[in-house]
Amino acid sequence: MTGPRYTPLVDSLPATVPFVGPETQERAMGQGFRARLGANESVFGPSPKVVAAMAEAARGSWMYGDPENHDLRQALAAHEGVAPENIIIGEGIDGLLGYLVRMVTAGPADHIVTSDGAYPTFNYHVAGFGGTMHKVAYRDDHEDPAALLAKAGEVAAKLIYFANPDNPMGSWHPRAVVEEMVAQVPAGSLLVLDEAYGQFLPPEDLPRIDPSDPRVIRFRTFSKAYGMAGARVGYGIAAPELITAFNKVRNHFGMSRVSQAGACAALDDGAYLADTIGKVRDAVARIGQIAAENGLTALPSAANFVAIDCGRDGAFAKAVLDGLVARGIFVRMPFVAPQNRCIRISAGEKADLEVLAQALPDALAAARTGV
């Protein structure tokens, strides 16, 4: 008896996960985390109106979700000031990135550009569809638009991944830089502008981009500022031709009906969103304070997390991180040098950050003594 014959590409891939989930770590530790500050989720939760809408929609979850996502698409178009034809909705940005990579990648002759140390799930999809990935270095803890564009021109890249604000560093670029980047996209390339953390930027700092511009797709999500990571709702804003192309490959009935309802309710509750953003700002400041109290430097952040420079190399930062994890705090860190001198802490409730404040000195001391 033989099993399936996989494609050569799939045979060559490792079974992997872009991120190990905190639940996996909890099962390994045999206990739960005291503070969940590792995945840039919003501990402030979804709006109570979202929770109510999802609870109500649960009764109707015997029905498939509308495959056109009509109501949410209309609401998003109004919210973003674009036409519904400019909006694609999918199973988180992760799901949409997978579709997009698939749409342009047939094999190693298709070249993709990103920054070394940027979002691993994008890389996972590129590997999964067999594209050739080119990575350029961060510059001063920022993604480097000039280097990304230069590499894209050099390799005739099909996609250029660029996150603003950036994850994992929290850095960002002025809107004029991003707008100029769009203008410089080489012919035949598409700029993948990941704005998962865009809601944390002041609206006037977000780039103005013509939604009919065929050179760029912007991705946004309900996972971060709206506190709905577990609902799996992301969306893209792009030219109608590109939006339509998603309908060639996407899982049309892939959206949870409860999540659709929750996202519509979230858009209706701007006051809650503003309140969350305020709480995130406070938490980011408090994390900076905690870092300073421990002689460390928090990097400026325009997102709902902070990269703390631990002042030495990646092995040291990893030891600090391990110390925090051992003390019940879920945190993550950048993968690549020199950014991996940092640990990355998500915004938390005051109580979460007190747990951090109490644990960090011990974790640092242990890392310094190698204990």
Of 138-146, 173-181, 222-230, 351-359, the window that binds its own copies (rule: CB under 8 A) is 222-230
CB atoms within 10 A of CB 31: 9
Of the CA atoms within 13 Å of residue 371, those in its CB half-sphere come to 6
CB of 131 to its own copies, least distance (A): 10
Cα torsion through 219, 223, 225, 226, rounded to 10: 110
Residue at 353: amino acid letter: L
**By the rule CB under 8 A, 371 interacts with its own copies:** no
The Cα 83–Cα 166 span in angstroms is 27
Measured from the CB atom, the residue of 7 and 369 that comes closer to its own copies is 7
Work out how close the CB of 21 gets to its own copies at its nearest, in angstroms, rounded to a whole number.
5
**Quick check: 13 binds its own copies (CB under 8 A)?**
yes
Please list every residue from 300 through 359 that binds its own copies, using CB under 8 A. Answer: none
Q: Which two tokens stand for residue 134?
A: 């080119």
Contact with its own copies (CB under 8 A) among 86, 123, 167, 223: 223
Q: Which single residue is written with the structure tokens 């178009």?
A: 77
The reply to whether 154 sits near its own copies by the rule CB under 8 A is: no
Cα angle vertex 260, ends 257, 265, to 5°? 130
The residues that bridge with 308 in the sheet, in sequence order, are 298, 343
Question: Which 110-129 residues touch its own copies, going by CB under 8 A?
Answer: 110, 121, 128
Interatomic CA distance for residues 56 and 261, integer angstroms: 9
* 203 touching its own copies, by CB under 8 A: no
Which residue's CB is nearer to its own copies, number 171 or number 221? Answer: 221
Residue placing its CB nearer to its own copies in the complex, 13 or 146: 13
Out of 118, 237, 242, 364, point to the residue binding its own copies (CB under 8 A).
242
String marking each residue 243-262 x if it binds its own copies according to CB under 8 A: -xx-xxx-xxxxxxxxx--x
Taking every pair of Cα atoms in the chain, the longest distance, rounded to a whole number of angstroms, is 63
Q: Cβ(116)–Cβ(133) under 8 Å?
A: no
Nearest residue (CB) to its own copies, 184 versus 294: 184
Q: What is the total count of residues that contact its own copies (CB under 8 A)?
A: 92
